[in-house]
A = this chain, B = another copy of it.
Amino acid sequence: MEFKISDKMRNMKPSIIREILKQMSDPTLISFAGGNPAADSFPAEDIARFSDELLRQDPVAALQYSVSEGVPSVREAVRAFANRRERVAKENDGVLITSGSQQILDFAAKCLCNEGDVVAVENPAFLGAFNAFRSSGARLAGVPMEDDGVNLAALEAVFAAPEKPRFFYCIPNFQNPTGKTMSLAKRRAVYALAVRYGVPVLEDDPYGELRIAGEPVPSIKSMDTEGAVIYAGSFSKILCPGMRLAYCVCDKKLMAAFVVAKQCSDVHTNVWAQRVCEAMLTRTDMDAHIREIRKIYAAKAALMMEQLDEKCPQVRYTRPEGGMFIWGTLPEGADMPAFVRECLARKLALVPGNAFMVDEEAPCGSFRMNFSTPTPENIVKGVSVMAGVLAAQGL
């Protein structure tokens, strides 16, 4: 039978990164292309202990159907966690437990966009977000990134355009792919523009806990007195991604639509994972655990930057204050796709920067490096591969 695929899905391509991940079974390939958390950061023993306890003492509480919003006691624990340093979840906000934060991006587009509507996005940004929005039929308006966040004039122009965007998507902390952090001044300005133009902000914060340098900057959600910010937090980087656990904080009126979307999508999030997460949040010292993850990431990031400085001085790059990514840029006039191709031929995977651009066809001299997944040994080897390719290409 010939299937007629819907307009919104017909031209969607599989994520280049998910496709690259499929190649990862080749053990000789070094990958700077993924975005996996370091496996040695997983609190596997605690998870095993709590899971065992739960499944032996109260299996039905882990294995039966539950409510779409998330198990009430889990939501309470998550609210307390999200609010432990700053007020993320306000009185008028609900907390929804989701199957990864990708699901929050999906719900935002599904609940706020009709086919053809515009969504404003940082450009470049997380391509999984672009795909989620496009899969609801949205069109993307890219707002250029500067070192301290989006260009405000360009953002205001997009907000003020006749086709007002349905929301603005950004990753203020250690952005994917650029590793950049939005300054406090820009966060305030973005929030003010959102309120002035009536455009909600979708603040995606999967990496916020992974700060390795500098001082924390308040979230945009913490400034939110008007219920204008949808906050997406994740446990994938501070517990583990395989459990698919994230949470959304937003105004209760909007959350009512998200809850219906959740019912239509996967009914509710895996209850076992929710309960184990609750135990982690309430019975372990999460901040001590997060400090350990930060140490692992700080060491890996420092090693990659040291190697780049030493072996690839012609590559300009961001010095991220956290997260998982370094954004490299080749010298003016270099052929970035050829560089990435040749690295892959020599068994080093990088992601070409245009994969993260709203217009993938536009010229782009940058590429993304991930430092959380590779071993220290492979970080050293991988940067050497880059140096070899740069030399061979006369860069």
Q: Tell me the A residues contacting B by CB distance below 8 Å.
A: 1-9, 12-15, 18, 21-22, 34, 36-37, 39, 42, 44, 47-48, 51-52, 55-56, 59-60, 62-68, 98-100, 102-103, 106, 110-115, 117, 128, 131-132, 135-137, 166, 195, 198, 200, 226-228, 236, 240-244, 251, 253-254, 256-257, 259-261, 263-273
| 7 A–B contacts, CB within 8 A, in A order | A1-B251, A2-B198, A3-B251, A64-B241, A100-B266, A102-B264, A135-B261
Indicate whether A254 sits within 8 Å of B3 (C-beta atoms), given known contacts A14-B263, A55-B44, A244-B270.
yes
Assess the A132–B63 pair: CB atoms within 8 A: no
Indicate whether A21 sits within 8 Å of B128 (C-beta atoms), given known contacts A47-B59, A100-B266, A198-B1.
no
CB distance from A177 to the nearest CB of B (A): 17
Contacts of A266 in B (CB 8 A): 98-100, 102-103, 106, 244, 265-266
Q: A1-B228, A5-B257, A36-B65 are in contact. List 18 more A-B contacts (CB 8 A).
A: A1-B195, A1-B226, A2-B198, A4-B112, A7-B114, A18-B68, A18-B267, A39-B60, A44-B55, A48-B55, A65-B236, A65-B242, A98-B266, A114-B115, A132-B264, A135-B260, A243-B270, A243-B271
Indicate whether A1 sits within 8 Å of B200 (C-beta atoms), given known contacts A51-B52, A257-B9.
yes
A22: contacting residue among B67, B132, B271, CB under 8 A: B67
Assess the A39–B64 pair: CB atoms within 8 A: yes
Assess the B128–A243 pair: CB atoms within 8 A: no
Q: How far is the CA of A203 from the CA of B262 in the complex (A)?
A: 22
Q: How far is the CA of A269 from the CA of B241 in the complex (A)?
A: 10
Assess the B59–A48 pair: CB atoms within 8 A: yes
Contacts of A267 in B (CB 8 A): 18, 100, 102, 128, 244
Contacts of A36 in B (CB 8 A): 64-65
Name, among A39, A56, A267, the residue most crowded by chain B CB atoms within 10 Å (CB to CB).
Answer: A267
CB distance from A97 to the nearest CB of B (A): 12
Residue of B nearest to A273 (CB): B270
CB distance from A324 to the nearest CB of B (A): 12
Contacts of A42 in B (CB 8 A): 59-60, 63-64
Assess the B9–A110 pair: CB atoms within 8 A: yes
Residue of B nearest to A245 (CB): B270
Residue of B nearest to A62 (CB): B242
CB distance from A171 to the nearest CB of B (A): 16
Contacts of A52 in B (CB 8 A): 48, 51-52
CB distance from A138 to the nearest CB of B (A): 10
Q: How far is the CA of A59 from the CA of B243 in the complex (A)?
A: 11
Q: How far is the CA of A195 from the CA of B2 in the complex (A)?
A: 10
CB distance from A87 to the nearest CB of B (A): 17
Assess the B68–A44 pair: CB atoms within 8 A: no
Contacts of A112 in B (CB 8 A): 3-6
Assess the A241–B63 pair: CB atoms within 8 A: yes
Contacts of A56 in B (CB 8 A): 48
Q: How far is the CA of A13 from the CA of B259 in the complex (A)?
A: 10
Assess the A135–B5 pair: CB atoms within 8 A: no
Q: How far is the CA of A232 from the CA of B4 in the complex (A)?
A: 20
Assess the B51–A14 pair: CB atoms within 8 A: no
Contacts of A9 in B (CB 8 A): 110-111, 257, 260-261
CB distance from A315 to the nearest CB of B (A): 27
CB distance from A91 to the nearest CB of B (A): 15
CB distance from A168 to the nearest CB of B (A): 12
CB distance from A293 to the nearest CB of B (A): 14
Assess the A240–B64 pair: CB atoms within 8 A: yes
A131: contacting residue among B2, B12, B264, CB under 8 A: B264
Assess the A6–B111 pair: CB atoms within 8 A: yes
